[in-house]
Chains A and B, each alone.
Chain A
Amino acid sequence: MSTKVAIIASNGGLFDAYKVFNIATASAATDAEVAIFFTFEGLNLIHKQAHHSLPLPAGAEHFAEGFKKANIPSIPQLVEMAQELGVKIIACQMTMDVMNLKKEDFIDGIEVGGAVTFLDFAKDANVSLTF
């Protein structure tokens, strides 16, 4: 049976996005089954507009140049790659209701679900991560 990786993304900054999508794409490319549950500010990472311009943490703005210099792929590129590799993206319904967001506000190809949707996947995961 293949490795299962379950990730919770609950923060909405650029650093958070890289942590989530780097691990997700690397796992998927290594034949793992990957699901990410996006909740609260984590929803930024898959929001159609927001995920193009995620903020760097206060005081870390100067790292923008470092990302460029090291030729790091952009977040939209990583998201696309993750989806191509079969990473399952689940947006949290409850947070969406609180923030008044619709499924159409997010990138294509996502699922919307509650906590149990994620738990059902995560219950027999080999690796569980929270960012």
Chain B
Amino acid sequence: MLPEIRANVTLDCKGLACPMPIVRTKKAIDQLKAGHVIEVQATDKGSLADMQGWAKNTGHHYLGTVEEGNLLKHYIRKSKLSETKEEKQHPYTICHEELATKMTGEGKITLIDVREPAEYAFNRIKGAISIPLGELEDRIKELNPDDEIFVICRTGSRSDLACQLLTEKGFKKVKNVETGMTGWTGPTEQDNSK
């Protein structure tokens, strides 16, 4: 079953004109915890391009937009400062090319996507299993410690933490996918959305 797009907070900007959706989004995201997802509901058609530009300039992560009639639902994930700076610690990594080769090969591989459900819903590698980082410890029984497991997120930071956790729990063949979904040019899929 595909996960629904889950947001931690919903912000109503319906009927508001530029620059109000952006101003409200900025205020709301200031109150949000890093890693949480906000759903911004807007009817301003310009907000589609504005949200993307805003996220690019503020460093937050624009996940995507769902259109329902005149209503635009924008999803943005609040980044944390450390996300781009954190040092990687898990020693075993795999690059995109190797991963793509593995996936078309004969052996069974397990690819875990540890991003939030909303991120997974908009764009993921086909066959990836969604286990958000926060749920990994509880759902670890779903995984076999002897399998070869690849872990992916958006940039390689959260997946690095996930790799460390799995190793701690006795998993032996865990590899972090370098740079995460960023720069992945292989096939992807998504839930129904714009």
Q: Which residues of B contact A22 (CB under 8 A)?
A: 18-19
- CA separation between A32 and B58, bound complex, in Å? 9
Residue B16 CB within 8 A of the other chain? yes
Residue A8 CB within 8 A of the other chain? no
Given known A81-B23, A85-B23, contact A31–B57 (CB-CB < 8 A): yes
Residues of A in contact (CB 8 Å), total 14
- CA separation between A73 and B58, bound complex, in Å? 24
**A70 close to B17 (CB less than 8 A):** yes
Residue B15 CB within 8 A of the other chain? yes
Residue B22 CB within 8 A of the other chain? yes
Contacting B at CB under 8 A, from A58-92, are 70-73, 81, 85
B90 to nearest A CB, angstroms?
32
Q: Which residues of B contact A94 (CB under 8 A)?
A: none
Residue A99 CB within 8 A of the other chain? no
Residue A130 CB within 8 A of the other chain? no
- CA separation between A85 and B58, bound complex, in Å? 15
Residue A50 CB within 8 A of the other chain? no
- CA separation between A30 and B27, bound complex, in Å? 11
User: 0/1 per residue, B1-32, Cβ < 8 Å to A?
Assistant: 00000000000000111111011011100000
Q: Which of A26, A72, A81, A85 has the largest count of B CB atoms less than 10 A from its CB?
A: A26
User: 0/1 per residue, A40-52, Cβ < 8 Å to B?
Assistant: 0000000000000
Residue B54 CB within 8 A of the other chain? yes
Q: Which residues of A contact B25 (CB under 8 A)?
A: 29
B12 to nearest A CB, angstroms?
13
Residue A3 CB within 8 A of the other chain? yes
Q: Which residues of A contact B27 (CB under 8 A)?
A: 29
**A26 close to B18 (CB less than 8 A):** yes
Contacting A at CB under 8 A, from B127-183, are none
Q: Which of B17, B25, B50 has the largest count of A CB atoms less than 10 A from its CB?
A: B17
- CA separation between A57 and B16, bound complex, in Å? 24
Q: Which residues of A contact B17 (CB under 8 A)?
A: 70-73
**B57 close to A26 (CB less than 8 A):** no
**B54 close to A29 (CB less than 8 A):** yes
**B23 close to A31 (CB less than 8 A):** no
**B15 close to A25 (CB less than 8 A):** no
B117 to nearest A CB, angstroms?
27
A125 to nearest B CB, angstroms?
15
- Given contacts A72-B17, A73-B17, 4 further A-B pairs with CB under 8 A are A30-B26, A30-B53, A31-B58, A71-B16
A-B pairs, 6 with minimum CB distance: A26-B19, A29-B26, A29-B23, A30-B57, A29-B22, A25-B19
List the interface of chain A (C-beta within 8 A of B).
3, 22, 25-26, 29-32, 70-73, 81, 85
Between-chain CB contacts (< 8 Å), 9 pairs: A26-B18, A26-B22, A29-B19, A29-B23, A29-B25, A30-B58, A31-B57, A32-B57, A81-B23
